[in-house]
Amino acid sequence: MQGVLLCSGGGTRMPVLTHDVQKCLLPVVGVPMFLYPLSSLLRAGITDIKIFVREVVQPVLEKEVKKSKLLEKYPANLDYITVNQEDFGTAELLKNHHSKITRDALIVSCDFISDASLIPFVDFFRATNSSLVALIADTCVNSPAPGSKSKKPKASDVMAIVESTGQLAYLCGDDDFDAPIVLEKSLKTFPSVRLTSKYNDCHVYAVRHKILSQLSRSKHISSLKADFIPHLIEKQFELDSDIKCLAYRLPHENGLVTAHANTTGAYFEVNKAIQKSFTRLMEYRGSGKSFNHKVDKILSQDSRIEESAQVGKESIIKRSVVSDNCRIGEKAKVKESIISKNVVIGNGASITNSIICEGAEIGDNADITNCIVAKDQKVNAKAKVQNEVVDGEDDGWTDD
């Protein structure tokens, strides 16, 4: 099989985080997001991988791949395919560059972050002789996004599954779920289906080459998930159709963490959750900085603190990420938060359930709760900010 890694998306669902950086380069525990799905493909034994990427960031991706040393452990050929502004949809990318994909493909989005093995998924695809298999999971990590008063994370996808075979009879993302569900054709073909929103579509698809070849002849298909997969599902119901679309449920025992990090909430939570497997997935980053509480007077629990970060005495850091070249003052508290690189946090400041973006400065004794502080923004000393996006704009921002 060939691997197809989609890294050209703009990250429109999390505009504050992707305003200055391409989504595929957003740091997850200090590592560019795209390295996680690349690792998944390599660990599955895929040795021929096509990476769709904007031309402007291709050199950065190549540099990060080299730095990661993943290809030293899993030798493979990476082919970077640069795309332009006209290639808006994921299906359009594959249509416009269909000549590059010459075999059955394992298609993965850059926001799939997991320590699970994809080998059983690929084996299932081969054993069932399916046209398409979609990876779904009921354990995808998620949480409400900081900067919002909402306490509920985004909903899962809506899908209809034939319980006896695992066949997909319907699939719709919550963003597209704005019309009545019509299952008349499905029920004629499959008298018993289960309609559920229990699972997330992980945006990982195994697809036959002959099915992908049909894309080049489809004029009105732009998105892989919103257009092409529903089109294939409908094709199943035609007389004498040989199309078969299946869902593969990720077993709970396969991996500790899985996320489709295409929203701020999912991105926020996976940064904290993936720490359980981080050193195994990204060996080149080492184990990070640790402290002896009796000697250093610094309490660190369930957190990743980079070696170049500076932490003042009597500070407390719990279930957080502290990135490269951060400076945290004395008696500061950081809990359930992501602190991006080059951030300065003053003495006595408290950061809870927040994302502090690159280059931001938090003043002494400031109290930040459930917020996103955008890149290079400053929060004054003793300020108290809750449920806000601090981005320097008067109109603010609401959760995606």
Element at 259 (helix H, strand E): strand 258-260
The predicted-structure confidence for 85-117, as pLDDT tens digits, reads as follows: 655 688 888 888 889 999 999 999 999 999 999
Residue 263 shares a structural domain with residue 307: no
User: Of 239, 257, 282, which residue sits at a domain end?
Assistant: 282
Residue 312 shares a structural domain with residue 166: no
Q: How many domains does the chain have?
A: 2
Residue 203 shares a structural domain with residue 304: no
- Average of per-residue pLDDT values in the chain: 91
Looking at residue 292, what is its pLDDT? 87
Residue 102 shares a structural domain with residue 188: yes
φ/ψ of 264, rounded to 5, equals -60, -40
Whether residue 291 lies inside any domain: the answer is no
Residue 20 shares a structural domain with residue 151: yes
The predicted-structure confidence for 136-158, as pLDDT tens digits, reads as follows: 999 999 999 999 877 666 667 89
Residue 172 shares a structural domain with residue 321: no
- CATH number of domain containing 103: 3.90.550.10
Whether residue 171 lies inside any domain: the answer is yes
The predicted-structure confidence for 205-218, as pLDDT tens digits, reads as follows: 999 999 998 887 77
The predicted-structure confidence for 273-296, as pLDDT tens digits, reads as follows: 999 999 999 999 999 999 988 888
Q: In Å, how far from its chain's centre is CA 214?
A: 28
Q: What percent of the chain has pLDDT over 90?
A: 71
Sign of CA dihedral 381, 294, 279, 64: positive
Looking at residue 205, what is its pLDDT? 97
Q: Under 8 Å CB-to-CB from 400, ≥6 apart: which residues?
A: 13, 14, 15, 145, 154, 263, 264
Looking at residue 248, what is its pLDDT? 96
Burial-class residue 220 by CB neighbours within 10 Å (0-12, 13-18, 19+): exposed
Whether residue 69 lies inside any domain: the answer is yes
Q: Has residue 394 got a pLDDT over 80?
A: no
Q: Under 8 Å CB-to-CB from 290, ≥6 apart: which residues?
A: 300, 305
Helix 35-43 and helix 58-68: axis angle, to 10°? 60
Residue 314 shares a structural domain with residue 229: no
Residue 278 shares a structural domain with residue 303: no
Domain that holds residue 53: 2-282
The predicted-structure confidence for 169-218, as pLDDT tens digits, reads as follows: 989 876 656 667 777 777 777 778 888 999 999 999 999 999 998 887 77
Q: Under 8 Å CB-to-CB from 343, ≥6 apart: which residues?
A: 323, 326, 327, 356, 357, 358, 359, 360, 361, 362
Compute the distance between CA of residue 373 and CA of residue 385 in angstroms, rounded to an integer.
Answer: 10
Q: Provide the pLDDT confidence category of residue 301 given band limits of 50, 70 and 90.
A: very high
Whether residue 371 lies inside any domain: the answer is yes
Q: Within 10 A of 380 (CB to CB), how many other CB atoms are there? A: 12
Closest CA to 215 of 234, 225, 228: 228
Residue 326 shares a structural domain with residue 257: no
Q: Under 8 Å CB-to-CB from 87, ≥6 apart: which residues?
A: 8, 93, 96
